[in-house]
Amino acid sequence: MSTRHDSMGEMPVPADALWGASTARALLNFPVSGHPMPPAFLRAMGLVKLAAARVNAQLGRLDGAKAALIERVAREIAQGEHLAHFPVDVFQTGSGTSTNMNVNEVIVARAAQLSAGQGVALHANDDVNLSQSSNDVIPTALHVSVALALHADLLPALATLAAALHGKAEEFAAVVKPGRTHLMDATPITLGQEFSAYATQIDKACARASRGVALLAELAIGGTAVGSGLNAPADFDQRVCAVLSQETGLAFHPPRNHFEAQAARDDCVEVAGQLAAIAASLTKLANDVRLLGSGPRAGLAELRLPAVQPGSSIMPGKVNPVMSEMLVQVGLYVQGLMQTVMACGREGQLELNASLPLLSYCLHEAIACLANGARLFATRCIAALAADSEHCAALAAHSLMLVTALTPRLGYDLAAEIAKQAQREGLALREVVLQRGLMHAQELDALLDPLRMAHPHATPTK
């Protein structure tokens, strides 16, 4: 053990630890869950510290040698190094001050290793935290990290799933089958049309994720303690945003109102709504796929699901919709996490939201699970789906709801009577209509064509 000190005095710290006394106090205060802050958030903290040091040096507020050291270590953190030295629990001070100081202390200690004998010593508050406060740094890292996760992780995963679904929509374009509403037979549809709906849902999910990136483009940096910018240069916010934009490729900018940027987390709540909607889309898709693949002999059995693992420890040959079940659980989990984010959004009092670490944890956990779930579902389920075309066509041909096409010719009441008789007597609709002498066979067959019903506005082929 070694002894390190901060403004409150001395604390014992493991000799090989890069953190200091402030972090040691946090470890004593918050041994709650064992969950440290998300790695993506910590990498963003490195970017924020790098940008702040560079701008402070440009403005003549920080010695060039010190700034270079801070940038070097902050770059290491941004690249995912030293993660073991950020042990502070998610359930900590609501501003994230413990994590901010943890980062500051790690930069100081690592810089001391790199500059040994050079006579350059950093101070966690005076140098690494110069022109900053936990109250603007933590929400800035929150926005940067979540925007990057949406852009680099979730969007590509959703795009992969959307492409797979569009491919199946084309592949299944000619597979006619019964539509179903209320889980009951409805007028015909093609399996391709059904999958076009799923593909469009995920296209919209991509758009929602993109809107989330735009929502998080405003950064609180430069507001310092309460939004007034005390102890920060007037253009510090603009300059730091420019550096972060250059480093990430995303277009960050200062907020319209620094006080709102620190007091409220409404943008994060709105992103939570987008993620909850994406989770709902994925859950609907997963549930439909497992329903359409139910069977193989006692269910709908319109889809043949890929066998990715044995389905039962007791029933040989059983194949279960395990990828759908995985994605449904992801959707349930994410929607619960997003409820927490929405509750966190209410936890701001006056000039500060006091649930920033939990907000970060929930958003990153949700994005990671959605991205992994969508990617796996695309590659291990959708890509390998097959249609039972003959079974689908047989179901469509025998559907009582084909009678809908006769309504303009016979009227609703008579068409209903025909459908009920067919069901009661176990007959086909065609048989009932011909028995009653209501229509000629040629006209009847044209009206009862399921594929024509699925494309009522298509130009007839000759």
β-strand partners of 304: 386
Annotated active-site residue 182? The verdict is yes
**d(Cα 366, Cα 139) in Å, to the nearest integer?**
18
Closest residue by Cα to residue 411 from 438, 437, 432, 443: 438
CB 95 within 8 A of CB 142: no
Cα-flanking dihedrals φ and ψ of residue 22, to 5°? Answer: -65, -40
In sequence order, which residues have a C-beta less than 8 Å from that of residue 460 and are 6 or more positions away?
Answer: 452
Closest residue by Cα to residue 309 from 296, 299, 322, 297: 322
Annotated catalytic residue within 5, 228, 312, 440: 312
Amino acid at 425: E
Q: Name the CA radius of gyration of the chain, rounded.
A: 30
**d(Cα 453, Cα 449) in Å, to the nearest integer?**
6
Sign of the C-alpha dihedral computed for residues 436, 437, 440 and 443 taken in this order:
negative
CB 320 within 8 A of CB 295: no
Annotated active-site residue 166? The verdict is no
Question: In angstroms, what CA-CA distances link 337 with 46, 118, 377?
Answer: 26, 48, 21
Annotated catalytic residue within 182, 258, 313, 398: 182
**d(Cα 367, Cα 374) in Å, to the nearest integer?**
10
Which residues are marked as active site? Answer: 182, 312
